[in-house]
């Protein structure tokens, strides 16, 4: 919290846009769903 004054707003915005872009969010959700499906398959087998 003490370091918040050192964060440059534009750099912060760019970082968020890169990490939470639509394609990144889709990839993350797909990976999560795939992991769940794999775990379910292992439970059934």
The residues near 24 (Cβ < 8 Å, ≥ 6 apart) are 18
Q: Could you say which DSSP state residue 20 is in?
A: T
The closest alpha carbon to 26, from 34, 14, 15, 36, belongs to 34
State how far the Cα of 32 lies from the Cα of 23, in Å rounded to an integer.
Answer: 14
Give the pLDDT score at 14: 96
The pLDDT tens digits of the residues spanning 2-11 come to 999 999 999 9
Give the pLDDT score at 8: 97
The ranges assigned to domains in the chain are 2-44
The reported pTM is 0.61
Confidence band, pLDDT 50/70/90 cuts, at residue 45: confident
State how far the Cα of 26 lies from the Cα of 30, in Å rounded to an integer.
Answer: 6
């Amino acid at each position: 919290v003490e370091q918040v004054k050192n964060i440059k707003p534009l750099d912060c915005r760019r970082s968020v846009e890169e990490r939470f872009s639509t394609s990144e969010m889709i990839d993350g959700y797909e990976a999560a769903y795939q992991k769940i499906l794999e775990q379910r398959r292992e439970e059934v087998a």
